[in-house]
């Protein structure tokens, strides 16, 4: 029994898997961090310089950001510059073993210097950056620099090699933990039980991103259904994602849920952060399967089968 458990445990963490997920996580993470940094630029002096809003921010005992020791304005500019350089390197797959840890530390240093401005999306991006930095340090470079089309083979063809997939398990477990913590936090709240949480959130004008018709905002039925559907999905998504038969349904439902959140409300970089987590659950062939369903292509009858995912 113990040997069987040990075998399954080892297979769960260390079975080789397709590197397509790792590559797209790397690219999405790099692009997201670039966008995060660009959002700071217009008000960078206000947030980080000595004559700005937070000239001497308070640091916690265990915080390690370099800007608590290098307090000059040039240090903040240097941290932002390193953030951009490392994020670009990560995106294009050059020097990833060095770029990933540098990006994480630059991101951490900037975030810890303006904690009053940070939210859950910033913490999530920092977590992803930390996990990938650890992975980059421990992983052979040939798995870190693959392009979005895979590795070139003799003859000009391309394929996705099998490689270390334990990083995907970390991302999957982190995404699951987010939903478990969210449900625990929301479960005692009466607003989620009586269906009024969504209408209240949509009524916060300072968080409004895109236009939503007034009739939808004021509809009690739509508000109730939106609240219960969102809460129900947050409860069931971990179950859907970890089940082979419902994994693809969970990915589509989860991405759709957060896309709806992001359309309606300004939630920082929460959508791209959650999208990175969902990529860790995807398998080669998933996009082809989704396209086949979306097109309702001829010949797809009850007895026909969708392309099987390649493991």
Which residues have CB under 8 Å from 42's CB, separation 6+? none
Classified as helix, coil or strand, 114 is coil
Q: Return the pLDDT at 18.
A: 82
Q: Return the pLDDT at 155.
A: 61
Strand bridging mode 17-18 / 162-163? antiparallel
CA dihedral (228, 229, 235, 238) in degrees, to 10, reads -170
Range list of β-strands (E), the chain: 17-18, 151-152, 158-159, 162-163
Q: For the chain, what percentages of helix, strand and coil (3-state, to nearest 5) are there?
A: 65, 5, 30
Residues in the chain: 311
User: Can you tell me which residue has the tokens 């992983």?
Assistant: 139
Q: Return the pLDDT at 51.
A: 78
CA distances from 95 to 89, 140, 142, 167, 275 (A): 6, 12, 11, 19, 24
Q: Tell me the sheet residues that pair with 151.
A: 159
CB 82 within 8 A of CB 112: no
CA 129, CA 111: separation in Å to the nearest integer?
13
pLDDT tens sequence across 106-151:
999 999 988 878 888 999 999 999 999 999 999 988 888 888 777 7
Q: Return the pLDDT at 94.
A: 93
Which tokens hold the place of 277?
């987590």
Q: What is the CA radius of gyration of the chain?
A: 22
CA 8, CA 214: separation in Å to the nearest integer?
53
Q: Return the pLDDT at 71.
A: 83
Q: Which residue in 133, 20, 148, 160 sits closest to 92, CA to CA?
A: 148
Q: Return the pLDDT at 300.
A: 47
Q: Return the pLDDT at 159.
A: 76
Q: Return the pLDDT at 147.
A: 81
Q: Return the pLDDT at 92.
A: 94
With 0.85 as the threshold, say if the pTM is over it: yes
Q: Where are the domains of the chain?
A: 18-148, 165-290
CA dihedral (124, 84, 276, 223) in degrees, to 10, reads 60
Q: Return the pLDDT at 125.
A: 96
pLDDT-flagged residues of the chain (< 70): 55, 152-158, 294-311
């Amino acid at each position: 029994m113990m040997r069987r458990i040990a075998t399954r445990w080892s297979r769960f963490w260390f079975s080789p898997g397709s590197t397509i997920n790792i590559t797209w996580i790397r690219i999405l993470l790099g692009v997201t961090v670039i966008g995060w940094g660009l959002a700071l630029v217009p008000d960078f002096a206000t947030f980080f310089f000595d004559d700005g809003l937070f000239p001497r921010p308070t640091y916690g005992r265990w915080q390690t950001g370099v800007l608590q020791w290098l307090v000059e304005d040039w240090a903040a500019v240097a941290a932002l510059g390193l953030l951009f350089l490392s994020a670009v390197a990560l995106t294009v797959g050059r020097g990833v073993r060095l770029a990933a840890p540098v990006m994480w530390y630059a991101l951490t240093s900037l975030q810890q210097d303006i904690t009053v401005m940070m939210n859950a999306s910033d913490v999530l991006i920092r977590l992803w950056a930390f996990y990938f930095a650890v992975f980059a340090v421990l992983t052979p470079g040939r798995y870190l620099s693959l392009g979005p089309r895979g590795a070139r083979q003799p003859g000009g063809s391309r394929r996705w090699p099998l490689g270390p997939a334990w990083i995907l398990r970390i991302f999957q477990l982190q995404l699951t933990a987010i939903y478990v913590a969210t449900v625990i936090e929301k479960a005692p709240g009466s607003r989620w039980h009586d269906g009024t949480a969504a209408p209240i959130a949509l009524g916060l004008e300072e968080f409004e991103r895109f236009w939503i018709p007034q009739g939808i905002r004021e509809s009690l039925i739509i508000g109730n259904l939106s609240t219960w559907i969102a809460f129900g999905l947050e409860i069931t998504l971990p179950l859907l994602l970890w089940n082979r038969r419902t994994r693809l349904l969970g990915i589509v439902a989860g991405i759709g849920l957060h896309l709806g959140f992001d359309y309606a409300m300004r939630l920082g970089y929460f959508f791209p952060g959650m999208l990175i987590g969902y990529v860790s659950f995807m398998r080669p062939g998933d996009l082809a399967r989704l396209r086949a369903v979306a097109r309702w292509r001829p010949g797809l009858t009850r007895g026909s089968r969708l392309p099987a995912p390649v493991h």
